[in-house]
Structure 1
Amino acid sequence: MSKSRRAKLLAAVCSVGLMAALASPVAAESLLDALTLAYQTNPTLQEQRANLRALDENVVQAKTGIRPTASLSADVARQQTVFGSLTQTSIFSPTKIRSQEGSSSGATISFTQPLYTGGRVSSAIDAAQADILAGRESLRGVEAGVLFSVIQAYVDVRRDQERLKISQDNVAVLQRQLDESQARFDVGEITRTDVAQAQARLAAAQAGLSSAQAQLAISRASYAAVVGQNPTDLEAEPSLDNLLPTTIEAAFDAAEKYNPQILAADYTEQASRARVAQAKAATRPTVALRGSVGWSDSESGNNPPFDDFDRASSASIVTTIPLFTGGLTSSQIRQQQERSNADRLAIEVARREVLKNVAQAWNGLQGQRALLISNEEQVKAARIAFEGVRQEAQVGLRTTLDVLNAEQELRNAELSLVSARHDEYVAAALLLQAMGSLEARYLTPDVPRYDPTRNAKRVNKAWGGTPWDGLILAADRILAPGIAPAPADAPMATSK
C-alpha cells in the first residue's frame, strides 16, 4: 500500500481530522455515489469477476478435445567411431588404426484429429458451461454482499454522526445547566448537592461524547475499507420500500426464483450430472484420425546435416476400446454419482437456508418498523416532558435532579430513535439480499453494469475452431451416456 493511500485510510480514525471533516464545507455524498464507487472499484468484487473470467476458459479448454492438434519434432546428431587394437606389451596404449564419422538428422510433423470420444468431450463441455453459470450466480452473491456492506457502512456513519451531534448537544445543555446551578447556588437558592448532581451528569455526558467520537471514527474506517474513500457529508439514504415485497409469501417466491445461493447450487448439480456422464464415457470407444510426415537423413563422412532426405508419410484411423482398467473406471463412476447426489441434496440445503434467512429478515424488518414507530412517539413525549419539567423548575416546582433526569430521558430517546432508523434500514437491505434482489441494476440503474457474458463471448471467439467442430460434437453425442434428468423435487435454475 502506498504512503498516500495509507495516509487517507489513517485519516478515517484520526479524531482531529474527524472533527475537521464535520466542520468543513464539502460536497454532500449520497448512498448512490457510495454504491457506484464500490460497484466499480471494490477489490472483493473485482476479484470475483476475475475468477469468473478464469472460469470462462474452461469451456474453451473442453472444446479442444474435438479439435486437431499438431506437433513438430526435429533432431540432428553426429557420430564418430574410432577403430584400434591392443598389444601385449602396451595394454593401456591402444594403437589407433582409423576413425569414421557420420551424421543423421530428421524432422517429423504429426497431427491428430479426434472423430469420436464416446461423449467425453461433450460431457466436459456441458459441465464447464454449468460451472460458468454457477460462477455467475456466485458473482451475484458477492455483489449483493458488497452492496449490503456499503449500505451498512453508510448508515453506520450516518447513525454515528447523529449520535455525535446528540452527544454534543447533551454536553452543551448540561454545561448550561451546571452554570445555572452554580449561579443559583451562589445566591443560596439551591444546595451544593444540586451542583454536584449537575457536575456528575456533565462528566458522564463528556464520557459519552468521547465514546461517540471513537465509534464514528471506527465506522468511518469501515466505510473507507468497503467504499474506497473516506465519507464526507452524507445525505439521507433513499427509501427501499419500492423494492420490498408486500407479503412474506412474495418474499419466499422471489427468493426461490432469484436467490443466487439456490441457483448456484442448482447449476453445480447440473455440472455434477454432466461429470457422471463424462465418467461413464470412459467405457466407450474413441476414434481419431492420425497422420504424420517425416524427413530423415543418415550419411557417413563429412556431408552436412539436412543434405539429402528420405521422406515418409502415414495416415491412419485409430480406434481405442477400453477393455480392463482394474476397476478404475467403475470406481470413478461411483464417485461422481455420489458427488452428484451430494450436490442434489445441497440444493435443498441452500433452499432451506435461504427461506430461513428470508423469514428472519422479514420478521426482523417488521419488528424494527414497530420499534421505530414507538421510538418516534417516545421522543415526542420525552421532549414535551423535558420542556415542562424545566419550566416547572424555574418556578420552584421541580428540583435540579428532576430536570437532569428529564433531559437524560430525552437524550436516550433520541439515541434510541437514531438506532431504530438505522436498524430498520439495515433490516430492509438484509431482506432484499435474502431475496436475491439486492443488485446494482435496482440500486444504481443509471450506472453501466458489468456484463459477465462479454468475456465468455470474447474467449470463445479468440479461436473459432474448425468448420467441422459442430459435426464432430454432434457425432460425439451419439451413443454417449446421457445426462440423468434432475429429480422431480429439485428446483430448476431460472434466469432473472
Structure 2
Amino acid sequence: MGNRIVPAAFFALLCAATALANGHVREVSFVEAYHLALENNKAILLEEISQRKTQLSEIQARSYLLPRASAELQYTQGDREERTFGAGVTQPLYTGGKASAERRKSEHLQEAAEFSVRFTRQQVLKQLIDITADLRKAQEMVRVNQENVKRLEEHVNKSRIRLEVGEIARTALLQSQMALSEGRADYFESLSHLSTLNTRLNNIIGSTHEIRIVGELHLPELPASSFDDWLVKANLNRNDLMAEEALLEYSHDDLRARVSAYYPRLDAFVRYSIPDFEESSESIVYTGLNLSIPILEGGTRIASYREAKFNIIESSHRILQRKENVRLDVNQELNTIDVLKYKLEEASSRMDYARENLRMTTLQFEVGKSTNLDVLDAMLSLSNAERALAEAHYDMIKAQYGLLFHVGTLDISLFSP
C-alpha cells in the first residue's frame, strides 16, 4: 500500500507546485475557449490584419476618378531671371475602363480576404476540437493506466503473501513486480503526454494563463449523404474555395485594368499661372481638355497583358487543385469513419472479453489452475482493450468533425447548448 501512496502523493505535490508557479487555472467551456481563441490566436489576428489592409485598396480604386490638384514654382536663370508660379486641377473624365476595373478588383480582393478570415477561424475551431479530443483521450489513458497500476499493486501484494506460504516461486513475484514497474512507467508517461497537450491547448487559444476546457465533446449529427452529396456541399461552402474564386475574378478585372492602357485617356483641367510673379505680371486662367493616346511604350503593355493572362490561368489551376484536394480529404474522412465504426464494435467486444477473461483467470490463479503470467497477460489485455476503445471513440469524434470541416460546414453553433 505504501508503494501506491508515494507516487500519487508525489504527483499531487508536483501538480500543486506547478499550479502555484503558473497561476490560477481557468476552467472554460468549449464555446468560451473558442471565443478566447478568436481574440488571441495569432493566425486569426494575422488574417484579420491582412483583411484590413485589403480595405485600403478601395481608397486607391476611388482615386482614379477623383480630381487631382498640383502647384509648382519654377525658377529660370538665363539672360534674365524668371520665377513662374502655376497651379491646376485635373479631373479624369475617361480612363479607358481602368477606374471601374480597379473598383471591382478592390471588391474581389476584400471578398477573398473575408473568406480567408472565415477559413482560418474554421481551421482554429478544428484544431481546438482535435486538441480537446486528444486531451480527453489522454485523460482516459491516464485513468486506464492508473487502474492498471492499482490492479498490479494488488496482484503484487497477493503474490507476496502466496510466496510466503510457498504457493508460488520467487520468479512469479519478480514477474509481477516487473509488470508493476512497466505499468507505473506507462502511467507517468501518460501524465507527461497530458501535460504537453495542455500546453498545446494554451498555444492554440493564445493564452499566457492555464486554460482547461470542461465538458465532453459529443458526436455531431451527420446527415445520411452520399460521397457526391458531400462534394456538392464542399463546393458550395468551403471558404478557401470561395476565396480562390474571388481571386480568380480579381485576376479577370486585373486583366481589364491592364488592357485599359491601350485606350485613350481624357482629362479636363483648370490652370492658373503667373508668368513672372515678382514683376507683377498678369495672371492667366485657362481651362481645357487633354486627350492622351498611347502609341509606343517599349513593349511594357504587352508584357503586362500577358502577365495578367498567366495570372488567370494560374488562379484557375489553383482552384482545380484545391477541389481535387477537397475530394481526397472528404473521401479519406468518409473511409476513416467507416473503419472506425467497426473498430468501435471490435474494441467494445474485446473489452467485454478482456474483463471476463481477467475475472476468470484471477479465480483460476487463486486455486492454482492458471499461472502468474496468465494473470499478467489478462491484465495487459484489459488495459489494451480500454485504450483501444478510448482511441476509437475520440478518433471517431475527430473524424466526424473533420468531415464537416472538409465540406465547409463546421461552425461553433454545433456546440451551442
Same fold by TM-score, threshold 0.5 exceeded?
Answer: yes
Cα distance in 1 between the residues matched to 2:324 and 2:341: 26
The structure-2 alpha-carbon separation of the partners of 1:19 and 1:211, relative to structure 1 and needing over 3 Å to count, comes to farther
Which is richer in helix? 2
Contact 1:143-1:439 within 8 A present in 2 as well: no
Cα distance, 1:264 vs. partner? 2.0
Contact 1:15-1:213 within 8 A present in 2 as well: no
Alignment of 1:306-321 (within 5 A): 310-321=282-293
- Of the structure 1 ranges 428-437 and 130-139, higher mean CA displacement relative to structure 2 is found in 130-139
Tell me which of 438, 445, 448 is aligned to 2:410.
438
Alignment of 1:261-280 (within 5 A): 261-280=240-259
Tell me which of 310, 330, 334 is aligned to 1:362.
334
Cα distance in 1 between the residues matched to 2:318 and 2:25: 50
Counterpart AA for 1:393: F
Tell me which of 192, 208, 218 is aligned to 1:214.
192
Q: 2:221 aligned with 1:241, yes or no?
A: yes
Cα distance, 1:393 vs. partner? 1.9
The structure-2 alpha-carbon separation of the partners of 1:29 and 1:379, relative to structure 1 and needing over 3 Å to count, comes to farther
Q: 2:61 aligned with 1:62, yes or no?
A: yes
**Could you say what secondary structure the match of 2:283 adopts?**
strand
Cα distance, 1:15 vs. partner? 9.4
- Of the structure 1 ranges 328-337 and 201-210, higher mean CA displacement relative to structure 2 is found in 328-337
Contact 1:35-1:150 within 8 A present in 2 as well: yes
- Hey, what does 2:89 align to over in structure 1? 111
- Of the structure 1 ranges 211-220 and 131-140, higher mean CA displacement relative to structure 2 is found in 131-140
**Could you say what secondary structure the match of 2:296 adopts?**
coil
CA deviation string 1:375-403 (max 9, x = no partner): 12211221121122112222222222211
Contact 2:68-2:91 within 8 A present in 1 as well: yes
**Could you say what secondary structure the match of 1:392 adopts?**
helix
Stretches of structure 2 that go unaligned for 5 or more consecutive residues are: 1-11
- Hey, what does 2:101 align to over in structure 1? 123
Contact 1:127-1:275 within 8 A present in 2 as well: yes
- Of the structure 1 ranges 183-192 and 392-401, higher mean CA displacement relative to structure 2 is found in 392-401
CA deviation string 1:63-111 (max 9, x = no partner): 2101112234468x8x9xxxxxxxxxxxxxxxxxxxxxx9987654321
**Could you say what secondary structure the match of 2:245 adopts?**
helix
**Could you say what secondary structure the match of 1:241 adopts?**
coil
- Hey, what does 2:50 align to over in structure 1? 51
- Hey, what does 1:223 align to over in structure 2? 201
Contact 2:336-2:399 within 8 A present in 1 as well: yes
Number of residues paired by the alignment? Answer: 400
Contact 1:32-1:443 within 8 A present in 2 as well: no
**Could you say what secondary structure the match of 2:63 adopts?**
helix
Cα distance in 2 between the residues matched to 1:211 and 1:342: 49
Cα distance, 1:249 vs. partner? 2.5
Q: 2:268 aligned with 1:289, yes or no?
A: yes
Cα distance in 2 between the residues matched to 1:15 and 1:349: 54
Normalised by the length of structure 2, the TM-score is: 0.87
Contact 2:132-2:213 within 8 A present in 1 as well: no
Tell me which of 377, 395, 415 is aligned to 1:405.
377
- Hey, what does 1:304 align to over in structure 2? none
Cα distance, 1:216 vs. partner? 0.9
Cα distance in 1 between the residues matched to 2:299 and 2:85: 40
CA deviation string 1:187-226 (max 9, x = no partner): 1111101101101100111111121122111111110100
Cα distance in 2 between the residues matched to 1:48 and 1:225: 17
Cα distance, 1:354 vs. partner? 1.0
Counterpart AA for 1:134: A
- Hey, what does 1:134 align to over in structure 2? 112
Cα distance in 2 between the residues matched to 1:49 and 1:233: 26
Cα distance in 2 between the residues matched to 1:320 and 1:298: 31
Cα distance, 1:31 vs. partner? 2.2
The structure-2 alpha-carbon separation of the partners of 1:233 and 1:114, relative to structure 1 and needing over 3 Å to count, comes to closer
Cα distance in 2 between the residues matched to 1:20 and 1:373: 40
Cα distance, 1:160 vs. partner? 0.9
Cα distance in 1 between the residues matched to 2:135 and 2:144: 14
Q: 2:222 aligned with 1:252, yes or no?
A: no
Cα distance in 2 between the residues matched to 1:111 and 1:370: 77
Cα distance, 1:254 vs. partner? 0.3
Cα distance in 2 between the residues matched to 1:383 and 1:411: 10
- Of the structure 1 ranges 112-121 and 395-404, higher mean CA displacement relative to structure 2 is found in 395-404
Contact 1:39-1:147 within 8 A present in 2 as well: no
- Hey, what does 1:417 align to over in structure 2? 389
CA deviation string 1:303-331 (max 9, x = no partner): xxxxx674322222100011122222122
Contact 2:139-2:194 within 8 A present in 1 as well: yes
Cα distance in 1 between the residues matched to 2:284 and 2:161: 116
Cα distance, 1:231 vs. partner? 3.7
- Hey, what does 2:15 align to over in structure 1? 17
**Could you say what secondary structure the match of 1:232 adopts?**
strand
Counterpart AA for 2:291: T
Counterpart AA for 1:63: R
Counterpart AA for 2:220: L
- Hey, what does 2:8 align to over in structure 1? none
Cα distance, 1:409 vs. partner? 0.5
Cα distance in 2 between the residues matched to 1:116 and 1:435: 45
**Could you say what secondary structure the match of 2:236 adopts?**
helix
Q: 2:14 aligned with 1:34, yes or no?
A: no
**Could you say what secondary structure the match of 2:363 adopts?**
helix
Cα distance in 1 between the residues matched to 2:54 and 2:213: 41
Cα distance in 2 between the residues matched to 1:269 and 1:245: 33
Question: Whose radius of gyration is greater, 1 or 2?
Answer: 1
